[in-house]
C-alpha cells in the first residue's frame, strides 16, 4: 500500500471532466483506488482517490474526505480502463466511473437479520401452535420469524410468546446467501456411449491444444 499526501485528487461519480482535490483527515489512510465519500454541492458523493492532485491549493480552501469505505481499492487496471473508455467515447470520466460505482449498497457492511432459536427450556403452557414452532426450531438452527411462520403456520404472537416465556431467544444472524455455492456433483449428467467416448478423447488432448473448428 502506497500512502498519498494529505491532499489527494478524488474522481467523483458524476459528470465531471476530472478529479477534485480534497484533504485527508488526520488518522485516515487512503491510496490510489480507495473508494470514498466526499462532500459535493452540499451532499455526500461517491468517489475514488485518483492520486496526487495536479494543482496546489491551500488547506483552508479544501474540504475533508468524509469517509473511506472498508473495501479493497479499485485495481490499477480498472482505473486505467475508466480513463481509456472516457477518452475513447468522449464521455466525462466521472460518468464512466459512475457505471463502475453505481450504488453504495454493496459497500456498506452486511446487514444482519433477526432470528430465533430454541433455548432448551420448555414453557409451562404448551399449546398445539407452540408445539409446531418448537418442532420447527428443534434442529438448533436460527430461524427468521417469517420462516418460522411459513413452516409452522402460526401467527407472530405465538413466536413472541415463546420468546417471553424463555423457550426462544432472539439473535442477530448474517443473512442467508443469495445463491448457494455451486455443487458439481448435484446433478451429474447421464452421457450416451458416443458422448462418453467424445469426452474421453477431449480429456486426452493436452491443455491449450483443444479447439473447435
- In 3D space, the residue among 89, 144, 149, 140 whose CA is nearest the CA of residue 113 turns out to be 144
Sign of the CA dihedral 193, 198, 203, 204?
Answer: positive
pLDDT for position 118:
92
Rounded-to-integer distance, Cα 99 and Cα 83, Å: 13
DSSP state string for 41-100: TTEEEEEEEEES-SS---GGGSPBP-EE-SSPPPPHHHHHHHHHHHHHHT--HHHHHHHH
User: Of 3-7, 121-125, 134-138, which gets the smallest average pLDDT?
Assistant: 3-7
Sign of the CA dihedral 172, 176, 178, 182?
Answer: positive
Sign of the CA dihedral 3, 5, 6, 10?
Answer: negative
Q: Helix (H, G, I), strand (E, B), or coil: what is residue 200?
A: helix
Rounded-to-integer distance, Cα 199 and Cα 189, Å: 12
pLDDT for position 211:
62
The CA distances from residue 37 to 30, 50, 64, 70, 175, in Å, are 12, 13, 10, 12, 26
pLDDT for position 210:
59
- pLDDT digits over 1-53, tens only? 455 668 899 999 998 888 999 999 988 999 999 999 999 988 899 999 998 88
For the chain, what are the domain ranges? 7-100, 113-173
Contact 10, 37 (CB under 8 A): no
> Left (φ > 0), alpha (ψ -120 to 50) or beta: where does 156 sit?
alpha
Higher-pLDDT residue of 160, 111 = 160
Q: Residue 162, CB half-sphere, CA atoms under 13 Å: how many?
A: 30
- Write down the mean pLDDT value for the chain: 87
- pLDDT digits over 178-208, tens only? 777 888 777 778 889 999 998 888 888 887 6
Q: Helix (H, G, I), strand (E, B), or coil: what is residue 37?
A: strand
pLDDT for position 76:
94
Q: Which residues make beta-bridge pairs with 35?
A: 48
Query: What is 7-100's CATH topology?
Result: GIY-YIG endonuclease (3.40.1440)
Write down the pTM of the prediction. Answer: 0.57
Amino acid at each position: 500500500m502506497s500512502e498519498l499526501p494529505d491532499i489527494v485528487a478524488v474522481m467523483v461519480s458524476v459528470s465531471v471532466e476530472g478529479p477534485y482535490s480534497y484533504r485527508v483527515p488526520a488518522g485516515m489512510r487512503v491510496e490510489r483506488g480507495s473508494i470514498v465519500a466526499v462532500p459535493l454541492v452540499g451532499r455526500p458523493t461517491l468517489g475514488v482517490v485518483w492520486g496526487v492532485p495536479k494543482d496546489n491549493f491551500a488547506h483552508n480552501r479544501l474540504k475533508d474526505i468524509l469517509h473511506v469505505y472498508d473495501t479493497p481499492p479499485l485495481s490499477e487496471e480498472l482505473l486505467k480502463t475508466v480513463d481509456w473508455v472516457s477518452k475513447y467515447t468522449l464521455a466525462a470520466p466521472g460518468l464512466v466511473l459512475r457505471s463502475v460505482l453505481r450504488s453504495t449498497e454493496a459497500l456498506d457492511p452486511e446487514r444482519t437479520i433477526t432470528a430465533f432459536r430454541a433455548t432448551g427450556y420448555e414453557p409451562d403452557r404448551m399449546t398445539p401452535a407452540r408445539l409446531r414452532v418448537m418442532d420447527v426450531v428443534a434442529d438448533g438452527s436460527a430461524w427468521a420469524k417469517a420462516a418460522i411462520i411459513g413452516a409452522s403456520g402460526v401467527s407472530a404472537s405465538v413466536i413472541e410468546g415463546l420468546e417471553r416465556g424463555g423457550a426462544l431467544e432472539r439473535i442477530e444472524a448474517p443473512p442467508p446467501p443469495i445463491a448457494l455455492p455451486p455443487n458439481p456433483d448435484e446433478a451429474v449428467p447421464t452421457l450416451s456411449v458416443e458422448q462418453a467416448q467424445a469426452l474421453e478423447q477431449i480429456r486426452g488432448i493436452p491443455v491449450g491444444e483443444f479447439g473447435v473448428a
